[in-house]
Amino acid sequence: MEALKIKFSRQYNLIMFIALSMTNIVRPCLSSPFTSFVFGDSLVDAGNNDYIFTLSKADMPPYGIDFKPSGGQPTGRFTNGRTISDIVGQTLGAKSFPPPYLAPNTRDEAVHRGINYASGASGILDETGILFIGRVPLREQVNYFEQTRSYMVNVMGENRTKDLLKKAIFSVTIGSNDILNYVQPSIPFFGHDKVPPTMFQDFMVSNLTIQLKRIYELGARKFIVVGVGPLGCIPFIRALNLLPTGKCSVEVNDLIQGYNKKLNEVLDQFNKELGPDAIFVYANSYDIFIKIIGNYPQYGFENANEPCCGGYFPPFICFNGKGGGDKAASALCNDRSKYVFWDAYHPTEAANIIIAKELVDGDESFAFPINIRQLYNHNS
């Protein structure tokens, strides 16, 4: 017995010795862990809306049906599987996803993998999403990040916090709901008369600029700012405008392209003024998405027109009846990997995988001035 113990402890020591020397050898080669802070709307919400009173929730099946870490249970993500930011993180080596800020006990996570502040129905403008009642507008998301930062300074000190934030990836995926609110005829423009489209684009860009500057001043240096996708092609807008298969709303897409162009110019300016210490990558989800719907069979899709879940006509509700069964089956397409759209608003995980791949490793036409992998590896 005693001999065995000694032998065991010797072996244990040997293993420990090897393990320790290996960490010493390996450490210099390891790049820093992937830490990301995620701001945005339902395209990247990872569960924040589960913790507020809102009509914008993805807390019921079949949302999350293909999300492996939860065993197919809903997580508050507005798709069947992973979001674009989930996939980008995994591609760059993240072992887990940044937790939602509003979930209990997530503060300490910031130090390791970052935090997700995104909220479904939210927009750049504070009023956006008011019909959904609860949502966290971008300004408030940045307020939350301010609190995270204070907490980090308390536990790690100012210098280590600065160092971590300098290396972390900050992504901002927002603007879709501002556009949707603006173009929906049933919603008066927040009780005011509708401003002209160019003025509305300017409101979005200037309000977003303010929040990007705040995040920068709090220490962020690596930014991904995602443009608004072609919402004129999503089932919700196409159904409202009674558009035939393969047609998109030109009016809506023109509004978005005008906004994206102005956003691009602002980011260009930021790169000139604040670079090379800070980098703002423009993620051109618009062109990637147009390419996918224009060539969907080449990407392995069979349907780029209807949502997999919830049907093509208002009210576009995607959830299982309590009992499941027939109702559940009829609400869902047969093969989720063959659909571009998960519900009337959001892409499937299959589409998200393609978008993420182009953003991480694609050329300048999809991520400008550098792609996300280059941004991640960049050391200033």
Ligand X SMILES: *[C@@H]1O[C@H](CO)[C@@H](O)[C@H](O)[C@H]1NC(C)=O
One-letter amino acid for residue 133 of the chain: I
CB of 209 vs ligand X, minimal distance in Å: 8
**Nearest residue relative to ligand X (C-beta):** 206
Single out the segment in contact with ligand X by CB under 6 A; choices: 129-137, 145-153, 203-211, 292-300: 203-211
Single out the segment in contact with ligand X by CB under 6 A; choices: 202-210, 225-233, 329-337, 368-376: 202-210
By CB under 6 A, is residue 11 in contact with ligand X? no
Give 62 or 129: the residue with its C-beta nearer to ligand X. Answer: 129
By CB under 6 A, is residue 207 in contact with ligand X? yes
Give 153 or 240: the residue with its C-beta nearer to ligand X. Answer: 153
Active site residues: 42, 343, 346
Give 159 or 334: the residue with its C-beta nearer to ligand X. Answer: 159
CB of 63 vs ligand X, minimal distance in Å: 30
CB of 159 vs ligand X, minimal distance in Å: 4
Distance CA 70, CA 252 (A): 36
What does the angle CA 77 – CA 81 – CA 85 come to, to the nearest 5 degrees?
65
What does the chain come to in residues?
380
Give 197 or 311: the residue with its C-beta nearer to ligand X. Answer: 197
Q: How far is CA 182 from CA 195, 251, 255, 376, in A?
A: 9, 12, 10, 35
* Binding letters toward ligand X, positions 148-187, x by CB under 6 A: ---------x-x----------------------------
Site for ligand X in 235-274 (CB under 6 A): none
* Three-state secondary structure call for residue 38: strand
Single out the segment in contact with ligand X by CB under 6 A; choices: 17-25, 201-209, 331-339, 354-362: 201-209
- CB-based burial label for 299 (10 Å; 0-12, 13-18, 19+): middle
Helix axis angle, 158-167 relative to 138-156, nearest 10°? 130
Give every CB contact of residue 268 below 8 A, 6+ residues apart in sequence.
none
User: Phi/psi class of residue 72: alpha, beta or left (left: φ > 0; alpha: ψ in -120 to 50)?
Assistant: left
* Cα dihedral 52→120→235→329 (10° resolution): -50
CB of 287 vs ligand X, minimal distance in Å: 27
By CB under 6 A, is residue 13 in contact with ligand X? no
Distance CA 225, CA 268 (A): 12
By CB under 6 A, is residue 316 in contact with ligand X? no
Distance CA 42, CA 318 (A): 15
Site for ligand X in 115-154 (CB under 6 A): 125, 127
The site for ligand X, by CB under 6 A, has a size of 7
By CB under 6 A, is residue 203 in contact with ligand X? yes
Summarize as ranges the residues that interact with ligand X (CB under 6 A): 125, 127, 157, 159, 203, 206-207
